[in-house]
Amino acid sequence: CSVKCQKEHRPKHKRACKKRAAELRDEILFKQPESSHFGDCPICCLPLSLDQSKSSLYSCCSKLICIGCALANHKLQDKEEEIRKSCPFCRQPVSSTEKEADRNTKKRIEVNDPVALRQWGYRRYSEGDHKSAFEYWTRAAKLGDASAHYELSHSYQEGTGGVEKNEKLEMYHLEQAAIGGHPSARNNLGCAEGKNRRHDRAMKHLIIAANLGYDNSLKLLRTFHAEGIVSKEDLASALRGHQAAVDATKSPQREAAEVYRNGSLLKGEGAWLRVNK
């Protein structure tokens, strides 16, 4: 119903309106996201792994680049003997100092880049300025950043950042993060529903998270299957979905990059992957 309709006929169908609104919300909430909140690598266009050690965030453009493309760029520039390395996406010079990286991030903040806003929120939080962190995450969340919504849910859960504990807002931001493909948020929603004995809703959340490749949700589903809460068919489907999500993040280029990275780190030469993390 429109606002006008609700005002004019509220006494007649208030309960029906609320029920329908909840149904519409659930349709959005329980829709399987196409990918996790990390999305795809903007270069090879393959889904990014949930393992953050397998990608690098570049402050110049706020792009998350997979380990395979980061290494390919590194080797190409080594071959061409470039003195100043450049970003594999925007081709801007890679910052060589923390001050340069901070300057790049601030430039992105000036144009309301949600990733830069979220990352600066992390910086403020690590420095103990929780109120400022909350403000940056709020700005990023308004621009649709799922990770920022996830951090706001923690703020309302713990009562940090200058706000009081608020379970309603905590759940709202968890739901927004989950809708945006954040598997940890989805897993937390499943746990919350499980505590409230709403097992059907809990299982839906956990299955969606497992289908995004989230290991913890798959472990919980195995536990619930052993307790007779999850059917054999649902667990089998979740196992297939989880494996498909994990396999989608793999490629020969990425696997070769992992081998190269591990060897580089042993030799103390792994800086190519740690740029602007």
pLDDT > 50? residue 275: no
* 18: confidence class by pLDDT, cuts 50, 70, 90: confident
Taking each continuous run of H as one helix and of E as one strand, the counts in the chain are 12, 2
Instruction: Please check whether residue 117 is in contact with residue 147, taking contact to mean a CB–CB distance below 8 angstroms.
Output: no
Contact 168, 154 (CB under 8 A): no
The stretch 251-271 carries a mean pLDDT of 75
List Cα–Cα distances, 31 to 6, 11, 27, 35, 189, in angstroms. Answer: 27, 32, 6, 12, 14
Q: What is the pLDDT of residues 221-252, one digit of tens each?
A: 999 999 999 999 999 999 999 999 999 999 99
How confident is the model at residue 136, as a pLDDT? 98
Exposure string for 235-269, b = 16+ CB within 10 A, e = fewer: beebeebbeebbeebeeeebeebbebbeebeeeee
Task: State the average pLDDT over residues 90-101.
Answer: 91
For 19-65, how does the pLDDT look when each residue is reduced to its tens digit (9 = 90+)?
888 899 999 999 999 999 999 999 999 999 999 999 999 999 999 99
Handedness of CA 266, 101, 54, 177 (dihedral sign): positive
Strand partners, 47: 40
Q: How far is CA 50 from CA 209, 240, 245, 248, in A?
A: 11, 17, 10, 12
pLDDT in tens, 124-150: 999 999 999 999 999 999 999 999 999
> Integer distance in angstroms from the first to the last C-alpha of the chain?
46
pLDDT category of residue 13 using cuts at 50, 70 and 90? confident
Token representation of residue 87: 């970003």
Determine the average pLDDT of the residues in 113-128: 97
d(CA 146, CA 253): 28
- Whether this prediction's pTM lies above 0.85 is answered by yes
